[in-house]
Amino acid sequence: MKEDLFLENISNKIKGLRTEKGLSQEKLAYKIGIDRKYASLIEKGTVNISVKILSKVCLGLGISMSDFFKKLDY
């Protein structure tokens, strides 16, 4: 799988889970301690998200990283 497609799938999954949970980008960003602009870049797939930040995102969304990747479309 191409790296860009994988990153796009991750960013789409984050946005989908966030909206499913009824959270704004701002609320999720505040909850996990990142800037809202950075959260926006993550969801656009324009930054390569680190494992550390992805772990925080998953925690903020109430999902384990293993479940996040199980539900990810490859």
pLDDT in tens, 33-54: 999 999 999 999 999 999 999 9
Q: Mean pLDDT in the chain?
A: 93
pTM: 0.89
Give, rounded to a whole angstrom, the gap between the first and last alpha carbons of the chain: 8
Report the b/e string of 46-61 with b at 16+ CB within 10 A. Answer: eeebeeebbebbbebb
pLDDT recorded at residue 72? 76
pLDDT recorded at residue 74? 63
pLDDT recorded at residue 3? 72
Amino acid present at 9: N
**Are the C-beta atoms of 71 and 20 separated by less than 8 Å?**
no
Domains and CATH numbers, the chain: 3-70 (1.10.260.40)
